[in-house]
Structure 1
Amino acid sequence: MALHFHVDEIRELIQKGDYTGLSKMLKDSHPVDIAELFGELEPQEYLNVFKHLEFSTARDVLEELDQEKITFILTNIKPKYAALLIREMSSDEVADYLGMLPEGARQNFLHLLKQQDQKDIRALLSYPETSAGGRMTTDFIAFPKDMNAQEALNKLAELAPDAEMIYYVYVVDHEGKLIGVLSLRDLVLSAPDTTLDRIMYTDVKKVLASQDQEEVTRLMEKYGFLALPVVDEEGVLLGIITVDDVMDVVEEEATEDILKMAGTEEEIDPEKSSPWYRARRRLPWILVALFGEIVSGNVIKNFSEALQALVALSFFIPLLMDMGGDVGTQSAAIVVRGLATGEIEPWDIWKNLLREIRVGVVLGIINGAIVGSIAYIWQGMPALGLVVGISMVLNLTIAAFLGTFMPLMWNKLGRDPAVTSGPFVTTLLDIIGLFVYFSTARWILKL
């Protein structure tokens, strides 16, 4: 753990009751580092540390902890202090935390908040977790269009401590509809008596609360925004999504896709981490692989005469299968990522297919020449080298095609393209690869 203090030193100070020394040691520590420290301590130990943090630090540390630690801390400190901490946390962080709690516990914590805060949190909880509404925070800065720059600066100084981000100031009409945006720089450099509607930008990039979080991520990445406003169907400003929220989305989506590419949608959940649960989540894809390999075995059986006539053919089976699987998985991974980031347009199937097929042909020719030469030198049989080389070219070309086509096809059908990778693609490639290999051998070697 890369911290500038040692866990043993912290434990020693706790045991001695030297909380003055503890506070001094943690005074200039980043909240993320303190949260990481909590992961190394026992619950009662990190609770004692938390109780002696400055309020602002305690609030920031709380936002970095997992659900279990937050619940333990909030239920073991004074209710008034817990209420104050929750009120000072950003609304999206509170909503994310409360959304993971059972209904009873959620209501207990909601009752600690003011009526308006309760209303804001309940509104956030009403949106799907993976939507823009579920990701947004209601702690933003918005002023009416007829306010002048000086009034806005004065008001900004008052509201800034409670806002999630002050770099963007949003402008709304009398109905609360978003009509413009300006930066803090624009505001500072404007004449004091200039009204906001004269200095604002009207071409505001925004998202609907119902939009998927991945669309929000692509938009923020495209324009390089630090925050993006969220509106309802009527254009009323509801909240903002900040760049740190987008970073969380990117991490979650990447984790989800990696799990699916591996043939499992399983997430690490302490409540469902038993071996039986994990095995049950992976079993369907393992069964796909199992039955696929049985079919592969049947393909080998049907070409058993060719194997008996030339045992050397069997030496290259693992090589051909592994290479095909590698290229297919690589192509699938590139396409899944491209679809997720918007770099690949789902409707332009043929363009993407042809590009990856060309890549497969190039890889096939290079690897086919190498392995064909090895087969010829090893066995002294030009025909065997030709069989292995041609099979490699065909297998890698087919692998690139399938690895590209499957995700694009499922995406076109409205299904998650990540689920088509992993065991499904590699098993299909095994079957086709074996058939191509032995068919080529029978054709060239006249077996």
Structure 2
Amino acid sequence: MQADRIKILTESIKRLLRRNATSHLRKIVSKTHAADLSVVFPSLAISNRHKLFEMMDTQQKGILFSELDETSLLTFIEEIQLDEVVEVLEKMAADDVADFIGRLPEEKSAAILEKMRKEGSEEVEGLLRYGDDTAGGIMVPDFIALREDTTATEAIGSLQKEHMDVEMPFYLYVTDEYGKLVGVCSLRQLVVVPPDTPLKDFMSTDVFSVETYTDQEEVAKLVARYDILAVPVVDDTNELVGIVTVDDVIDIFREEATEDFLKLAGVSGEEFVETKSVFKSMRIRLPWLFASCLGGILAFFVIGGFEESLSKFTYLAAFLPVIMGMGGNIGTQSSTIVVRGLALGFLNIRDIWSVVFKELAVGFILGLFYGTLIGLVAQAQYNLVAVAISVGLALVCSMSVAALVGSMMPMLFARINIDPAVATGPFVTTAVDIISVFLYFQIATILMGI
């Protein structure tokens, strides 16, 4: 449904641009969210991009800058005046500006910061001091914080006069005289208590906070676990310096999930963005494909060790694809489940044996089912009980070992502080292929008396 709507929007905008129907186009732009316009934007010619951009208001332009992919953004920024870029950035939230500037070349970002108003550029430069993937790098420096002796009436007055433009007004953070975070209260609490009640009398002192260097993935897990709309960020002295809001958390989950799945496939997030560079894509994939190539060479030597068996019973080779394929599939399933469980915090390294035994049991039961099925096919085709049993047992062993390896490896990598998303995919695939081939020919050699 969403894809169809975007397709219709794209075709409508292109048609109106061709006809130079400016008035109709302005109406569509004014009623369309900039996030949708950012999907249309890269498909337009350079001249049409300028026309569409000029029809947007400042808020839409800011959202467009945040939503455009890096390649489209860098291309477009080179085509417009620096003053026009600065005008848009000065209306954007500081964390979004910091993210935007972090995606630009150093010379361009320095020029933009120099042109921005001093107060705005200082805020952005403060955020740029922190790593892109830390709480400090994604936090919003604008928040509502009042002293603990402030009354409910004074707090409401402050919200109406001084904090009208704050991004997340649902939480009011409470600090002591030194600016250290001591509590939090919601807007609901603020309006139901007697007007002269100080914040310290009804605030919650059980505050979930993170430090500026906390990894963004940990921040996202905290927000998801406790169902909060924002999490406060403090420095080493527990002084409140910013907040991370739920909209940024959604972006984090999307980025981390994309990154994990790309790593499982043996590619990188860089390639996801840099689609135009053939040599860069080749360089990124080369080491992961080398691991698979090395596994294939080892499998070649394993098969070569059973050359005598194959020369006598050539039909054994017919079942190699299904045994290796089924083992590889269940190994990938197990590893994917465990990697995502670790990433989302649903699994803990301490759970290693319960997870491994569960996946091993699943692999064994599925192996029995499919081993019986393929064994019956082998019996019907060749009418040889030994072949049917060899194929069936090999499939049981292959799928059981694959589930074992697929579930154990991510847990072991996580225990020794190696990113399981990076290392698991190539290792599991290669190991399962080699083990499956060896077990198959070993079982066939024993049962068929070769």
Q: Which among 386, 389, 411 is matched to residue 386 of structure 1?
A: 389
Larger displacement relative to structure 2 (286-295 or 392-401): 286-295
State the Cα deviation string for residues 20-77 of structure 1 (Å, max 9, x = none).
4432232222221222232332233222222233333333333333455556666766
- Give the deviation of 1:308 after TM superposition: 2.0
- Letter matched to residue 256 of structure 2: E
Secondary structure of the residue aligned to 1:263 is coil
Deviations along 1:273-323, one digit per CA (max 9) or x if unpaired, are 422221121111212211211111111111111122222211111110001
1:95-106 to structure 2, matched below 5 A, reads 95-106=98-109
1:33 alignment partner AA: D
Query: What is residue 358 of structure 1 aligned with on the other side?
Result: 361
With over 3 angstroms needed to count, the CA separation of the structure-2 counterparts of 1:72 and 1:88, relative to structure 1, is farther
The yes-or-no answer on 1:422 pairing with 2:425 is yes
How far, CA to CA, are the matches of 2:165 and 2:87 in structure 1? 13
SS where residue 115 of structure 2 aligns?
coil
How do residues 297-376 of structure 1 correspond to structure 2 at under 5 angstroms?
297-376=300-379
Give me the whole-angstrom Cα distance separating, in 1, the residues matched to 2:258 and 2:320: 33
Instruction: Give the Cα–Cα distance (whole angstroms) in 2 for the partners of residues 139 and 345 of structure 1.
Output: 35
Q: Which residue of 2 aligns with 1:174?
A: 177
Assess if the C-alpha contact under 8 Å between 1:67 and 1:97 holds in 2.
no
Aligned to 2:122: 119
Contact preservation (8 Å) 2:59, 2:92: no
| SS, match of residue 295 in structure 1 | helix
Helix, strand or coil at the partner of 1:182: strand
Post-superposition offset of 1:111: 2.0
| TM value normalised by structure 1 | 0.93
Alignment of 1:238-257 (within 5 A): 238-257=241-260
**Aligned partner of 2:373: which letter?**
I
User: Residues 76 and 302 from structure 1, CA distance in 2 versus in 1: closer, same or farther, beyond 3 angstroms?
Assistant: closer
Of 31-40 and 424-433, deviating more is: 31-40
Tell me the distance in 2 between the aligned counterparts of 1:74 and 1:154. Answer: 41
Taking the aligned partners of 1:65 and 1:236, their CA distance within structure 2 comes to: 34
Contact 1:372/1:389 (<8 A) preserved: yes
Aligned: 1:28 with 2:31: yes
Using the TM superposition, give the Cα deviation of residue 19 of structure 1 relative to its aligned residue in structure 2, in angstroms: 4.1
Q: CA deviation at 1:342?
A: 0.8
Relative to structure 1, the CA distance from residue 78 to residue 376 in structure 2 (aligned partners, 3 Å threshold; closer, same or farther) is closer
Q: What is aligned with 1:128?
A: 131
Secondary structure at the aligned position of 1:181 is classed as strand
CA distance in 1, matches of 2:9, 2:364: 55
1:89 to 70, 73, 92: 92
Whether 2:162 is the aligned partner of 1:151: answer: no
8 Å contact kept, 2:16–2:25: yes
User: Equivalents in 1 of 2:187, 2:278: separation in Å?
Assistant: 53
User: Which deviations, in whole Å up to 9, do the C-alpha atoms of 1:247-289 show, x marking residues without a partner?
Assistant: 1111111111111111222523666742222112111121221
- Give distance in 2, aligned partners of 1:100 and 1:192: 47
Query: Aligned partners of 1:254, 1:193: CA distance in 2, in Å?
Result: 47
Aligned to 1:49: 52
Conserved? CA contact 2:134–2:215, under 8 Å? yes
Contact 1:262 1:421 in 2 (8 A): no
What is the alpha-carbon distance in structure 2 between the residues aligned to residue 141 and residue 368 of structure 1? 63
- Aligned equivalents of 1:274, 1:75: Cα separation in 2: 20
Runs of 5+ consecutive residues of structure 1 not aligned to the other structure: none
1:212 maps to which residue? 215
Paired residue for 2:200, among 193, 197, 200? Answer: 197
CA–CA distance in structure 2, aligned partners of residues 412 and 394 of structure 1: 27
From the superposition, tell whether residues 191 and 279 of structure 1 become closer, same or farther in structure 2 (CA, over 3 Å): same
CA distance in 1, matches of 2:267, 2:355: 26
> How far, CA to CA, are the matches of 2:383 and 2:140 in structure 1?
71
Q: Which letter does structure 2 place at the counterpart of 1:131?
A: T
TM-score under structure 2 length normalisation: 0.92
Deviation for aligned residue 1:231: 0.9
Q: Give the deviation of 1:4 after TM superposition.
A: 8.9
Which letter does structure 1 place at the counterpart of 2:223? Answer: M
Report the Cα distance in structure 1 between the residues aligned to 2:284 and 2:430, rounded to whole angstroms: 19
**Inter-CA distance 27–264: structure 2 relative to 1 (3 Å threshold):** closer
Specify the SS of the correspondent of 2:174. strand
Structure 1 segment 231-310 matched on structure 2, within 5 A: 231-268=234-271, 273-310=276-313
Tell me the CA shift for residue 214 of structure 1: 1.3
Aligned to 1:37: 40
Deviation string, structure 1 residues 90-144 (Cα, Å, up to 9, x no partner): 1111001111222221121112333232222112111111111112111222122
Question: What's the secondary structure of 2:149's corresponding residue?
Answer: coil
CA deviation string 1:163-206 (max 9, x = no partner)? 12111111111221111111111112222222111121110011
Residue 185 of structure 1 is matched in structure 2 by 188
Q: Cα distance 1:32–1:193, how it changes in 2: closer, same or farther (>3 A)?
A: same
Judge conservation of contact 2:181–2:239 (CA < 8 Å) in 1.
yes
Which is further off, 301-310 or 19-28? 19-28
CA contact (8 A) 1:329 1:421 kept: no
Q: 1:14 to 1:441 in 2, by over 3 A?
A: closer
Residue 443 of structure 2, aligned match among 440, 443, 447: 440
216, 224, 228: which is aligned to 2:227?
224
The offset of 1:146, in angstroms, is 1.6
Q: Tell me how far 1:11 sits from its aligned partner.
A: 4.8
Q: How far apart, CA to CA, are the structure 2 residues paired with 1:341 and 1:187?
A: 34
* Bigger mean CA offset, 61-70 vs 404-413: 61-70
SS at match of 1:179: strand
- Over 3 Å counting, the alpha-carbon distance change for 1:324 and 1:89 in structure 2 is same
Matched residue of 1:355: which SS? helix
SS in 2 for 1:268: helix
How many residue pairs get aligned? The number is 447
Find the residue that maps to 1:191 and give its secondary structure. coil
- CA–CA separation in structure 1 for the residues paired with 2:282 and 2:59: 44
Range with greater deviation from structure 2 (230-239 or 417-426):
417-426
Give the 3 Å change call, closer, same or farther, for CA 416–79 of structure 1 in structure 2. closer
The question of whether the paired residues in 2 share the 8 Å contact of 1:266 and 1:278 is answered with no
Higher alpha-carbon deviation: 202-211 or 38-47: 38-47
